């Protein structure tokens, strides 16, 4: 058992017996005599326990002061409970730096005293917990306290509200309904008496908050949720539409396990894509959350990138070679998209791709090509490199016509090589 639990056990032994021998404590606690004596000394010095040694009874007991019975100070919790409570307090104190600290400091001090009696110090626990308020906007403590007072006393508030969008400050009289802590910032859900409707105000946008004497209007939780919780995000409303988001299999690893809304629906497609449906009334925050993932990583590479990064190689199909065919070796973990008309230079003869071909990851395939370098049939390099350009548009168009005709006749993906060469003197690249 840990130190805190030993204190509880010692207290129980001293209350149950007239006197408790040290040998019995050692046996029940499962510790050495030296540890038991240190625990008794700590309880006397730090917890003000009136523990005395009774020579006549040959044991320890509580010294009596009339009818008063000694009890351990504060909320007597075991070590795990104290750790959980202090962890919660630490998180609360970091929700808004300086906002709750003054009010919970006395309780925090008591908790720290109890925690210090355990096996881990309060300082150690605090050093292991970090709450970063990177996107939090500062809130005036006085404004927060006035809002809290209005909420609990059910009084109206006069707000001096700054609208960042219109750069305008207005005065509103509202009936506060609830405070919401959302994504690092505080919001006040309130009934607007002038507009006769509900609205959420960012507490950081309030330049002044004054408690009024008039009683506030109460709005039940069901209506609050219907008005302010129906749509996506903090900018909600009663009238909603549905947004259908389809994300790639890579992004689905994150989005599929996130809760965007209580009424969301989601499912995976056969190809691994994830479709998420969420209700919304104002698309501002929804668009912001979609954009935070940034542009999706393509599920394929292009030829230039694959070759330059060393993920792919292009070679002749054999030592002797074959004019209408090349070998494409994809050594990467994602497919490579080879585009119609891209030119490859080197090896025995420069070639262009006859059509667009998806090359699977970690596979070697044979790709159909046409020669664009008449007269050379000798090896300049073992592998091809990308020319960084495509065959000219008119040449690609004529090649496509011939290729389609050949495929209809015998299924071959080859062109009439002489026709390709015939158009070469007037070729242009783009």
pLDDT of residue 106: 65
pLDDT tier at 118 (50, 70, 90 boundaries)?
low
Q: Are 252 and 274 in contact (CB under 8 A)?
A: yes
More confident residue, 350 or 229: 350
What integer is the mean pLDDT of 425-430? 46
What integer is the mean pLDDT of 85-111? 61
More confident residue, 5 or 178: 178
Task: Say if residue 250 is in the same domain as residue 161.
Answer: no
Q: With respect to residue 233, please indicate whether it lies within any of the assigned structural domains.
A: no
More confident residue, 138 or 54: 54
Rounded Cα distance, 296 and 281, in Å: 26
Q: With respect to residue 193, please indicate whether it lies within any of the assigned structural domains.
A: yes
User: Which residues lie closer than 8 Å to 114 by C-beta, 6 or more apart?
Assistant: 4, 74, 75, 76, 77, 82
Laid out side by side, the sheet with 168-182 consists of 197-202, 185-192, 168-182, 155-163, 206-215
Please say if the pLDDT value at position 348 is more than 70. yes
pLDDT of residue 227: 82
CATH code at position 21: 1.10.10.10
Task: Say if residue 336 is in the same domain as residue 390.
Answer: yes
C-alpha gyration radius of the chain? 38
Q: With respect to residue 337, please indicate whether it lies within any of the assigned structural domains.
A: yes
Sign of CA dihedral 92, 98, 99, 103: positive
pLDDT tier at 303 (50, 70, 90 boundaries)?
very high
Q: With respect to residue 135, please indicate whether it lies within any of the assigned structural domains.
A: no
What integer is the mean pLDDT of 67-86? 65
Please say if the pLDDT value at position 166 is more than 90. no
Question: What's the whole-model pTM score?
Answer: 0.50
pLDDT tier at 75 (50, 70, 90 boundaries)?
very low
Task: Say if residue 421 is in the same domain as residue 360.
Answer: yes
Please say if the pLDDT value at position 4 is more than 80. no
Q: With respect to residue 53, please indicate whether it lies within any of the assigned structural domains.
A: yes
Rounded Cα distance, 121 and 352, in Å: 71
Q: With respect to residue 385, please indicate whether it lies within any of the assigned structural domains.
A: yes
Rounded Cα distance, 354 and 343, in Å: 10
Per-residue pLDDT tens digits for 25-52:
999 999 999 999 999 998 888 888 899 9
Please say if the pLDDT value at position 189 is more than 80. yes
Q: Write the CA distances from 91 to 101, 126, 188, 399, integer angstroms.
A: 11, 10, 21, 68
Task: Say if residue 415 is in the same domain as residue 351.
Answer: yes
User: Which of these three, 251, 268, 291, is where a domain ends?
Assistant: 291
pLDDT of residue 283: 76
Q: With respect to residue 71, please indicate whether it lies within any of the assigned structural domains.
A: no
Please say if the pLDDT value at position 139 is more than 70. yes
Task: Say if residue 223 is in the same domain as residue 116.
Answer: no
Task: Say if residue 95 is in the same domain as residue 147.
Answer: no
Q: Which domain holds residue 267?
A: 241-291
Q: Are 277 and 264 in contact (CB under 8 A)?
A: yes
Task: Say if residue 417 is in the same domain as residue 350.
Answer: yes
Instruction: Quote the DSSP letter at residue 383.
Output: B
Task: Say if residue 306 is in the same domain as residue 421.
Answer: yes
Per-residue pLDDT tens digits for 285-302:
788 888 888 766 667 889
CATH code at position 189: 2.30.30
User: Which residues lie closer than 8 Å to 416 by C-beta, 6 or more apart?
Assistant: 402, 406
Half-sphere exposure of 410 (CA within 13 A, CB side): 6
Q: Are 294 and 251 in contact (CB under 8 A)?
A: no
Task: Say if residue 114 is in the same domain as residue 163.
Answer: no
Task: Say if residue 319 is in the same domain as residue 381.
Answer: yes
pLDDT of residue 82: 60
Tell me the range of 221-225, 370-374, 385-389, 418-422 where mean pLDDT is highest: 385-389
Task: Say if residue 17 is in the same domain as residue 119.
Answer: no
Task: Say if residue 247 is in the same domain as residue 357.
Answer: no
Q: What is the mean pLDDT of the chain?
A: 83
Count of domains observed in the chain: 5
pLDDT of residue 428: 43
User: Which of these three, 227, 256, 281, is where a domain ends?
Assistant: 227
Q: With respect to residue 69, please indicate whether it lies within any of the assigned structural domains.
A: no
């Amino acid at each position: 058992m840990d130190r805190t639990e030993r204190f509880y056990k010692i207290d129980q032994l001293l209350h149950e017996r007239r006197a408790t021998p040290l040998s019995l404590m050692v046996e029940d606690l499962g510790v050495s005599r030296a540890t038991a004596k240190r625990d008794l000394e700590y309880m006397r010095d730090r917890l003000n326990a009136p523990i005395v040694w009774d020579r006549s009874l040959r044991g320890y007991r509580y010294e009596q002061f009339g009818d008063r019975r000694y009890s351990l100070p504060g909320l007597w919790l075991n070590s795990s409970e104290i750790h959980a409570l202090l962890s919660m307090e630490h998180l609360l104190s970091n929700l808004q730096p300086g906002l709750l600290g003054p009010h919970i400091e006395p309780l925090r001090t008591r908790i720290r005293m109890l925690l210090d009696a355990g096996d881990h110090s309060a300082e150690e626990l605090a050093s292991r917990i970090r709450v970063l308020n990177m996107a939090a906007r500062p809130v005036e403590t006085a404004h927060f306290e006035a809002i809290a007072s209005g909420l609990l006393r059910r009084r109206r508030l006069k707000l001096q509200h700054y609208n960042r969008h219109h750069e305008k400050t207005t005065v509103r009289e509202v009936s506060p309904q609830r405070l919401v802590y959302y994504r690092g910032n505080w919001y006040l859900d309130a009934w607007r008496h002038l507009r006769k409707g509900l609205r959420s105000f960012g507490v950081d946008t309030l330049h002044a908050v004054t408690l009024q004497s008039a009683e506030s209007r109460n709005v039940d939780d069901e209506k609050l949720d219907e008005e302010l919780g129906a749509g996506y995000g903090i900018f909600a409303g009663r009238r909603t539409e549905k947004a259908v988001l389809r994300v790639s299999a890579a992004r689905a690893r994150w989005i599929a396990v996130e809760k965007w809304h209580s009424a969301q629906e989601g499912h995976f497609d056969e190809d691994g894509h994830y479709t998420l449906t969420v209700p919304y009334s104002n698309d501002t925050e929804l668009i912001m959350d979609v954009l935070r993932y940034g542009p999706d990583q393509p599920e394929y590479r292009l030829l230039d990138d694959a070759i330059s990064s060393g993920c792919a190689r292009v070679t002749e199909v054999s030592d002797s070679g074959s004019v209408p065919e090349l070998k494409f070796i994809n050594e990467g973990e994602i497919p490579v998209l080879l585009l119609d008309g891209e030119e490859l230079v080197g090896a025995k003869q420069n070639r262009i791709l006859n059509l667009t071909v998806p090359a699977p990851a970690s596979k070697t395939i044979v790709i159909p090509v046409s020669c664009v370098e008449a007269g050379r049939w000798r090896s300049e390099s073992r592998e091809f490199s990308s020319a960084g350009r495509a065959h000219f548009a008119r040449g690609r168009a004529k090649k496509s016509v011939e290729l389609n005709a050949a495929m209809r006749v015998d299924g071959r993906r080859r062109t009439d090589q002489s026709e390709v060469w015939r158009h070469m003197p007037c070729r242009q690249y783009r």
